[in-house]
A and B are shown apart, each in its own frame.
Chain A
Amino acid sequence: MTARPALESTTLASEFPPGLKDFNFKVLWEFQLLGINFEITKLTVLLWVSVLALVVFFSLAVRNQKMVPGRLQFAGESAYGFVRDGMAKPMMGEEGVRFAPYLTTLFCFIIVSNWWAIIPVVQIPTTAKISLPVVLALISYVLFNWVGIRKHGVKKYFGGIFWPAGAPWWILWLLTPIEIISTLIARPVTLAVRLFANMFAGHMLLLVFTFGGVALLNSDNFVNKTFSIFSFGMAIVMTIFEFMVQIIQAYVFTILTASYLQGALAEEH
């Protein structure tokens, strides 16, 4: 414990090593309902703002539809078309068109939630707390299991998971636990954690570079002040990188959901 005091003596910024405290926001309003504690924070507000924004955007996009689309209609339809023809159809074939609306909703919602990370002033993605990814992953989990059960029936669907088709009997002691864990446990957990961890790490990365820049700028050392330029520069580069990561994560979440749905719909799992 010698490095920390030395750093603190040269930096004036108290918030420099960013940590978990940066993910806890001031509680704007708190109430109890059925013994559950509800907290309204900046993230809750942002969550509803993103819902509202999407509803308004898509409502305007389908209002006054034309064969030759206007700019807004085109934007809405290209989002739908991207998911429909770029994910649902390649993964699930013609059957996938049925799921295209849900997948589009999912994709757009995740992308907007992620974008809060780099929108100036806001700069905190609602997906950087695990609750929202868990909700989305659970819905995907329930959806693909439900679809599979409805198509094959409970016995055949779970039978397909427990006894993978084409596997010899003597390997089942190894294969069945793996299959159960990977399909029924790992899938939702990885879905949620992947999205959360990417956004969390991205937000942390941006905090490190911006707070680090501020800390360096406020230090009494001239060399440190000079290096703050690099820190801010890296923050800008990372913002662009994060923009890419946010889109990729939304894409990955949606395409994994589509792939799980396809697995549930396939004849043998």
Chain B
Amino acid sequence: MVTAYATQLATVPVLRAQEEEEVPVFPVVGELIIGTLAFAVLCFILLKFVFPKMEQMYQQRVAAIEGGLAKAEAAQNEANALLEQYRMQLAEARTEASQIRDEAREEGNRILEEMRTSAREESERIVARGAEQLAVERQQLVTELRGDVGRLAVELASKVVGESLADEARRAGTVDRFLAELDGLDTAGASR
């Protein structure tokens, strides 16, 4: 059986050659040529007309992207500069505002102070004038009263004494002395 199998195995290629059944493992010349032709046509068309365009597009796109990047960078720089500028301006404005505020505060303080002093002066003035007036009125009253008291006292005394004191000069001296006494009493009472 083994020998039979061996002979069978040995005859197989011969049989195959006779049957002329194509084995896909071995290339066929006609197919090779047709395949080469087909692939050559494909390569010719694609390499000649398609891929150069595509590569060009690629390069353009790369350039565009790089250009876009440069542009973006420039814009970024510009924006940064602007931001810096705005920041500086803001800082300036802020210091200015604080200056103004300080000034205003000072001004307000000054005004307040002025007003306070003027009001104080005014009030002092008013008080002084009132006091002056009071003093004047008092003086007036005192003078009036002194006169009245003297007259009344003389009248009373003349009535009491029943005689007219002819000697004016004496009378005045008496009254004045009396009054001075009164004053002395007064001041002594007040100091006591």
- Contacting pair B29 A55 (CB below 8 A): no
- Contacting pair A67 B36 (CB below 8 A): no
Q: Which of A111-158 contact B (CB under 8 A)?
A: 128-132, 134-136, 139
Within 8 Å of chain B (Cβ to Cβ): is A37? yes
Within 8 Å of chain A (Cβ to Cβ): is B50? yes
Which residues on the A side are within 8 Å of B23 (C-beta)?
Answer: 20
How far is A102 from B48 in the complex, measured between Cα atoms in Å? 11
Which secondary structure dominates where chain B touches chain A?
helix
The bracket for how many chain B residues form the interface is 35 or more
Q: Which of B47-68 contact A (CB under 8 A)?
A: 47, 49-55, 57-58, 60-61, 64
Tally chain A residues at the interface, Cβ within 8 Å.
44
Find B50's partner among A20, A23, A48, A58 (CB 8 Å cutoff): A58
Within 8 Å of chain A (Cβ to Cβ): is B2? no
Which secondary structure dominates where chain A touches chain B?
helix
- Contacting pair A105 B53 (CB below 8 A): no
Within 8 Å of chain A (Cβ to Cβ): is B27? yes
Within 8 Å of chain B (Cβ to Cβ): is A59? yes
How far is A21 from B19 in the complex, measured between Cα atoms in Å? 12
Which residues on the A side are within 8 Å of B28 (C-beta)?
Answer: 39, 129, 131
| Chain B contact residues, CB within 8 Å of chain A | 21-36, 38-39, 41-43, 45-47, 49-55, 57-58, 60-61, 64
10 cross-chain pairs, A with B, having the tightest CB-CB distances, nearest first: A131-B31, A101-B51, A135-B35, A38-B30, A58-B50, A62-B53, A129-B24, A131-B27, A132-B35, A51-B42
| Chain A contact residues, CB within 8 Å of chain B | 20-21, 23-24, 36-39, 43-44, 47-48, 51, 54-55, 58-59, 61-62, 65, 67, 76-77, 80-81, 84, 97, 100-102, 104-105, 109, 128-132, 134-136, 139, 196, 200
